Structure 1
Amino acid sequence: MTEIVCAACDAVLSAPLSQVALPGHAHQTWGNGVLLPVLMEPGTYAVEPEPYGPPWRTWSDVGEEEAAARGVFAPVHALSYGDRGAIVVAPGDTRGTVLIPERCGGYCCGLDGGDGPNLACEQCGRAVATRVDDCSLWQAVWFAPHAVRRLGDDAPAGRDLGWEVLARPGWGAPPVDLSGVWSRRWEAVVGAGLAHLVAASGGTPVTVPDGLLAITFGRVLGALLPPGGPVKRAALAGPGLHAAGPAPDIALVPRHPRTGEPWRTASSPVAVALDAEVWAYLALGFRDERFRAPATGGLPEGVLRDDPLPLRPAGHFWPDPWVFIRTLARLPAVRQPWLRSIYDRVTDRPFGWPGL
Structure 2
Amino acid sequence: MATRIDDCGYWQVVWLDPRAVRPVCVDGPACTVVGWEALRAAYPDTPPVEQPGWWSPRWEAAAAVALAHLLALSGGKRVAVPDGPVAEAFRKALDTLLPAGPSARNLVLAGPGLSGVTAEIALVPRHPQSGEVWPCGAGAVVPLAADVWMYMAFNDDRRLTLAAAGMPDIVRRDDPPPRLPWRPFRPDVGVFLHTLARLPAAREPWLRAIYDHVEDRRYSLPCF
Fold shared by both chains (TM-score > 0.5): yes
Residue 171 of structure 1 aligns with which residue?
44
Separation in 2 of the partners of 1:138 and 1:233? 29
Shift of 1:140: 5.6
Match of 2:57 among 172, 177, 184: 184
- Secondary structure of 1:148's aligned partner: coil
Q: 2:101 aligned with 1:231, yes or no? A: no
Unaligned runs of 5+ in 2: none
Residue 273 of structure 1 aligns with which residue?
143
Separation in 2 of the partners of 1:327 and 1:310? 32
- Secondary structure of 1:252's aligned partner: strand
The 1:143–1:352 alpha-carbon spacing in structure 2 relative to 1, beyond 3 Å, is farther
Separation in 2 of the partners of 1:149 and 1:336? 42
- Secondary structure of 1:168's aligned partner: helix
Q: 2:25 aligned with 1:155, yes or no? A: no
Separation in 2 of the partners of 1:188 and 1:133? 14
Residue 208 of structure 2 aligns with which residue?
340
Separation in 1 of the partners of 2:176 and 2:42? 18
Task: State how 1:4-43 maps to structure 2 within 5 Å.
Answer: none
The structure richer in helix per residue is: 2
Write the letter of the residue equivalent to 2:50.
Answer: D
Match of 2:173 among 305, 308, 311: 305
Residue 81 of structure 2 aligns with which residue?
208
Structure whose alpha-carbon radius of gyration is higher: 1
Residue 152 of structure 2 aligns with which residue?
282
Residue 250 of structure 1 aligns with which residue?
121
Match of 2:194 among 323, 326, 330: 326
Residue 259 of structure 1 aligns with which residue?
130
Alignment root-mean-square deviation, CA: 2.5
Separation in 1 of the partners of 2:21 and 2:124? 34
Shift of 1:144: 2.5
CA contact (8 A) 2:3 2:14 kept: yes
Separation in 1 of the partners of 2:50 and 2:154? 18
CA contact (8 A) 1:224 1:354 kept: no
Write the letter of the residue equivalent to 1:253.
Answer: V
Separation in 2 of the partners of 1:327 and 1:135? 17
- Secondary structure of 2:54's aligned partner: coil
Unaligned runs of 5+ in 1: 1-127
The 1:260–1:355 alpha-carbon spacing in structure 2 relative to 1, beyond 3 Å, is closer
Write the letter of the residue equivalent to 1:261.
Answer: E
Task: State how 1:65-84 maps to structure 2 within 5 Å.
Answer: none
Shift of 1:256: 1.1
TM-score (norm 2): 0.87
Residue 8 of structure 1 aligns with which residue?
none
CA contact (8 A) 1:166 1:280 kept: no
Residue 217 of structure 1 aligns with which residue?
90
Write the letter of the residue equivalent to 1:209.
Answer: P
Q: How many residues matched?
A: 221
Calculate percent identity across the aligned residue pairs.
48
Separation in 2 of the partners of 1:309 and 1:170? 24
CA contact (8 A) 1:237 1:251 kept: yes
Separation in 1 of the partners of 2:188 and 2:40? 27
Shift of 1:213: 1.0
Shift of 1:235: 1.0
TM-score (norm 1): 0.57
Task: State how 1:122-141 maps to structure 2 within 5 Å.
Answer: 128-133=1-6, 141=14
CA displacement, residues 218-258 of structure 1 (integer Å, 9 cap, x when unaligned): 00100000112552110100110014xx6221000001121
Separation in 2 of the partners of 1:167 and 1:133? 26
